Amino acid sequence: MTQQFVFAPATKEQARLRLAIFGPSGSGKTFTSLRLATGLGGKVAFIDTERGSASKYADRFMFDVLELEDKDINTYCTAIAAAESAHYDVLIIDSLTHAWHELLDEVEKLARAKYSGNTWSAWSEGTPKQRLLVDAILSFDGHVIATMRTKTEWTITQDSKGRNKPTRVGLAPEQGKGIEYEFDLLMELTTDHIGSVIKDRTGRYQDKVISEPGEDLGEALAAWLADGELPPRPEPGEMNVEMPAVDG
């Protein structure tokens, strides 16, 4: 039977935000994430891999926190599933970098144990685990804000009076190659708390520079995401992602 190809008018559907924030230490990734989540509205869950850094802001924002001791991908996925089961509207993951570091260590161990030191071959087991984490983020039934560390270097810049000063700058995010393609919006933060939007599927903020992005940006994003037709309801079982058991 010949397949029939039929084009139809495109329509904008209501959507959930997938936002990644990356920057060097001190750029304000945690604080910015909480401000944006507050602007988005609803119940906020926070997966903290940064040793309780989020709880320092408990007097400023309303959110529930889960501090991860184990930082392997299985644990991340189980935590994301727990947030969805509890029906949180916004999930902050701070940060994805620890999962990547754990995966790199795991692949190195696999290479030595099973692949005669061939790291390339060991990624045949590592890549599916990374995909599992991405799928867990994308299938979460709510907004997701994920942070990533960047490798940092120092450079010499000039201040307003022409004096030289050392400045920290962030390089590429410490996560898997191509991770930026999985998010709707990608924002880089500087140590001066200035956000540069380097990817934006809303079409409103591409290449914009935003000083101290916060609640107002979250509110604007929420309005844009809510503007449109309701998406079709998934078939029973269609969105279920089986999460692996966590060892121990």
Q: Which tens digits make up the pLDDT trace of 157-176? A: 677 777 776 665 556 676 77
Residue-level pLDDT at 219: 95
Residue 130, Cα to own-chain centre: how many angstroms?
13
Residue-level pLDDT at 228: 63
- Cα 158 from Cα 14, distance rounded (Å): 45
Range picked from 75-79, 233-237, 238-242 for highest mean pLDDT: 75-79
Cis peptide before 95 (omega within 30 of 0): yes
Transcribe 168-233 into DSSP letters. EEEEEESS-TTGGGG-SEEEEE-TT-EEEEEEETTSSSTT-EEES--HHHHHHHHHHHHSSBPPPP
Q: Name the percent of the chain lying above pLDDT 90.
A: 59
Residue-level pLDDT at 105: 92
Assess whether pLDDT exceeds 70 at residue 230.
no
| 29-67 confidence digits (pLDDT tens) | 999 999 999 999 999 999 999 888 899 999 999 999 999
Place of tokens 């709510």: 142
Residue-level pLDDT at 162: 75
Range picked from 16-25, 144-153, 209-218 for highest mean pLDDT: 209-218
Q: Which pTM value belongs to this model?
A: 0.80
Could you tell me the pLDDT band of residue 154, with boundaries at 50, 70 and 90? low
User: Residue 34 — φ and ψ, nearest 5°?
Assistant: -70, -40
Other CB atoms within 10 A of residue 63 CB: 20
CATH fourth-level superfamily of 18-225? P-loop containing nucleotide triphosphate hydrolases (3.40.50.300)
Return the closest-CA partner of residue 49 out of 2, 4, 93: 93
